[in-house]
């Protein structure tokens, strides 16, 4: 489902965030991305989500080389993809419900159906009661769960999560792990960047380890 080959990402000033990275991830697999701060994890996520293009190399997602994708094809790719960012990117001037509705209104889903879906997603992460709150009124763990609801409201087949439990206490982190487990059970492909040992213990996933932009480990 995902195949990266010889991917390099070079930023201005010659910083090479990724160097000759190749790997494959099968449908329904859960893979863990790890590595020190600055190793290239978030860069890899941005490439997988077609937010940025690799400098060289190819990334094939569902048979499409996203490195060579036309701009007009990107929304179609995103429809099948849910992304949880390291810095959440919530809209703080909108309600919890509006945050989850956003991806559905972008694809033009009728309001009634969109609200039904958004509420189902909020219910799944235990935030239905807070639908009218502003994100600022939520705790860190609740904001993280809101970001998850927004990422999955489109029912993506691929979920990319960049440090979804960073800065959370172990109880909130554990709740998020349970939510991910339920996605795994329905066949969603999950790629998760994290340093959290709970993930390893709970899922024993395959781990891709980055070091200064190079893939130095690819094992379970």
Ligand X SMILES: Nc1ncnc2c1ncn2[C@@H]1O[C@H](COP(=O)(O)OP(=O)(O)OP(=O)(O)O)[C@@H](O)[C@H]1O
CB of 35 to Mg ion, least distance (A): 9
The string of DSSP codes covering 11-54 is -GGG-EEEEEEEEEE-TT-EEEEE-STTSSHHHHHHHHTTSS--
Residue with smaller CB distance to Mg ion, 41 or 119: 41
Query: What are residue 185's DSSP bridge partners?
Result: none
Sheet with strand 2-10: strands edge to edge: 16-25, 2-10, 56-61, 64-65
Distance (Å, rounded) from C-alpha 218 to C-alpha 139?
35
CB closer to Mg ion out of 189 and 194: 194
Under rule CB under 5 A, residue 194 binds Mg ion: no
User: Which partner from the list ligand X, Mg ion, none does 106 bind, CB cut-off 5 to 8 Å by kind?
Assistant: none
Name which of Mg ion, ligand X, none residue 11 binds, using a CB cut-off of 5 to 8 Å depending on partner kind.
ligand X
- CA 137, CA 135: separation in Å to the nearest integer? 5
Please report whether residue 42 would count as binding Mg ion according to CB under 5 A: yes
Pick from 161, 215, 218: which is nearest to 184 by CA? 161
Site for ligand X in 1-60 (CB under 6 A): 11-12, 15, 17, 35, 37-43
Min. distance of Cβ 111 from Mg ion in angstroms?
Answer: 35
Query: Which partner from the list ligand X, Mg ion, none does 43 bind, CB cut-off 5 to 8 Å by kind?
Result: ligand X
Q: What angle do CA 81, 32, 89 make, to 5 degrees?
A: 45
Cβ-based nearer residue to ligand X, 8 or 86: 86
As measured in angstroms, the least distance from the Cβ of 110 to ligand X is 37
Q: Closest CB to Mg ion among 62 and 86? A: 86
Q: Are 170 and 158 in contact (CB under 8 A)?
A: no
Cβ–Cβ < 8 Å for 131, 57: no
Which residues of this chain interact with Mg ion, rule CB under 5 A?
Answer: 41-42, 86
Which residues of this chain interact with ligand X, rule CB under 6 A?
Answer: 11-12, 15, 17, 35, 37-43, 86
């Amino acid at each position: 489902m995902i195949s990266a080959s010889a991917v390099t990402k070079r930023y201005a000033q010659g910083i090479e965030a990724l160097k000759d990275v190749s790997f494959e991830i099968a449908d329904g697999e859960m893979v863990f991305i790890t590595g020190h701060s600055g190793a290239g994890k978030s860069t890899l996520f941005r490439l997988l989500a077609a937010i940025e293009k690799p400098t060289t190399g190819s990334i094939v997602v569902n048979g499409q080389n996203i490195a060579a994708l036309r701009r007009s094809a990107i929304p179609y790719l995103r429809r099948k993809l849910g992304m949880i960012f390291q810095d959440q990117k919530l809209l703080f001037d909108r309600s919890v419900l509006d945050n989850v509705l956003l991806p559905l209104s972008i694809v033009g889903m009728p309001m009634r159906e969109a609200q039904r879906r958004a509420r189902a997603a909020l219910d799944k992460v235990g935030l239905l009661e807070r639908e009218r709150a502003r994100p600022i009124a939520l705790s860190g763990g609740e904001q993280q769960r809101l970001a998850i609801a927004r990422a999955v409201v489109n029912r993506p087949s691929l979920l990319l999560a960049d440090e979804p439990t960073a800065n959370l206490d172990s109880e909130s982190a554990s709740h998020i792990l349970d939510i991910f487990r339920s996605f795994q059970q329905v066949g969603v492909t999950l790629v998760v960047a994290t340093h959290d040992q709970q993930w390893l213990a709970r899922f024993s996933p395959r781990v891709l380890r980055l070091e200064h932009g190079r893939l130095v480990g690819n094992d379970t």
